Amino acid sequence: MSQRVLTTESGAPVADNQNSATAGAGGPILIQDQHLLEKLARFNRERIPERVVHARGSGAYGYFEVTDDVTGFTSADFLSEVGRRTETFIRFSTVADSLGGADAVRDPRGFALKFYTNEGNYDLVGNNTPVFFIKDPIKFPDFIHSQKRDPFTGRQEPDNVWDFWAHAPEATHQVTWLMGDRGIPASYRHMNGYGSHTYQWTNAAGDAFFVKYHFKTNQGVRSLSAEQAAEQVGKDANSHQTDLLQAIERGVNPSWTLHVQVMPAADAADYRFNPFDVTKVWPHADYPLQRVGRLVLDRNPDNVFGEVEQAAFSPNNFVPGIGPSPDKMLQGRLFAYADAQRYRLGINHTQLPVNAPKATTADNYGRDGLHATRYGSRQDKNYEPNSYAGPAQTGAPLAAPLPVQGWTGAHEAPLHTKDDDFFQAGELYRLMSADEKDRLIANIAGGLSQVTRDDVIEKNLAHFHAADAEYGKRVEEAVRALRED
């Protein structure tokens, strides 16, 4: 095989990649050394702004295969036929830490999935938990600020974490989940994934349904205790990345079975829980899981930066037959996720290979901007409507319209009969075994006991008491014991 020639960015051959050009042997470097300046300038610009949340991530390619007929609920083409396969890319991530953070930490995990369908890319951006800490996006920046590094101390502060939760009683359900046994997954392969939010499916007849997505791991759920996680971080801070990479390289392809809960749209108004509140679940007894298909991961990215770091997901990327719901947190994310990628990667980030459609072609009037690669031919116009056979609208909405009524203003969501911030947290606690409860109490008390303000501790204890009397009593006693030591 002939030796490939090293070139500059402009394609000129490089004569010497070991020595800079100088004014004589041992003299100062010359500014005319174009290759040196180009290498240093590129090196200074190799990093891009990391994600504010979900910065630390891993990814893989695979496929989604339909195993069950769901055409009665959605007209989405990639779900239209049993046996149909669609290429996918997934990005797993932690939430709070930075790009250099460890994998085995107590933190929710992102579960972001891109389907390269022949009707465009469909992004399902969820977590490994079925609920979230808050239900209104106006609180999201404050929530994340409280969980990330303090601007003065430069570290995550228990005072900040628990102070926010003290003022957000709706977080009690997710806190109970996070501090329980599933709070630290053993690997990305051994955790479930959830759409978390409520989405809308619309069938060919125009009937609307609300759905929740559940990806159940076929490897079995495995988690780490706090002690096991600390040991794992000491051995390999990249443990989840290592596990995913090596499993796929060995041909041990991880898979998940997708189920959905389906609620006829007419049920939503009178359901005992607000079905659009992401701090709550729909009990399976009310809306059982219905199998849809399986997700299989079978190929590692060739370049982590190009394909994992530059992967961009937005829950606003829908396809015909799938749309949003009135879920307020989802509504906020419809803007925020795409806007984050415009900031990080530029307006043309959708033209990057990992983000571009694979089973179809993007055809619109977007032109120019940083890193633009799609210009069209000399006959193509950049406005619409036009008389030159440019792409035109279909007139067919992606999903059914949502009814709205009432006065504009800042409103709390209307309460349903069983809506409160604590009932489901108590139900989750009462489902746990004795050993699971012991570990939950220890995990909560370990963090809450570090808080320096008594009033913040008392507010949080009140939330656990409201969820379940035994739950609150045990947390209170454990916190007191740790603070007296």
- Active centre residues (catalytic): 54, 127
Rounded to 10°, the helix 454-467/423-431 angle is 70
Which amino acid, one-letter code, is at 429? Answer: Y
- CA 40, distance to chain mean position in Å, is 34
C-alpha 166/C-alpha 207 separation (Å) is: 42
Q: 319, 290 in Cβ contact below 8 A?
A: no
Full DSSP string of 248-259: HHTT---EEEEE
Smallest CA-to-CA distance from 215 within 129, 301, 285 is with 129
Q: 62, 295 in Cβ contact below 8 A?
A: yes
Q: 302, 446 in Cβ contact below 8 A?
A: no
**Tokens found for residue 301:** 């990215």
Q: What is the b/e burial string over 231-266, where b = at least 16 CB atoms within 10 angstroms of the residue's CB?
A: ebbeeebbbbbebbbebbeeeeebbbbbbbbbbebe
Query: Which long-range contacts (C-beta less than 8 Å, at least 24 apart) are formed by 245-250?
Result: 245/58, 245/300, 247/189, 248/60, 248/297, 248/298, 248/299, 248/300, 249/300
**Tokens found for residue 412:** 């709390």
Smallest CA-to-CA distance from 20 within 47, 38, 44, 7 is with 38
**Tokens found for residue 359:** 């089973």
C-alpha 393/C-alpha 454 separation (Å) is: 60
List Cβ neighbours of 241 (8 Å cut-off, separation of 6 or more).
58, 103
Q: How far apart are the first and last CA of the chain?
A: 70
DSSP label of 307: I
C-alpha 62/C-alpha 306 separation (Å) is: 17
Element (H, E) at 215: strand 208-217
Q: 172, 467 in Cβ contact below 8 A?
A: yes
List Cβ neighbours of 64 (8 Å cut-off, separation of 6 or more).
78, 85, 86, 88, 115, 258, 293, 294, 295, 296
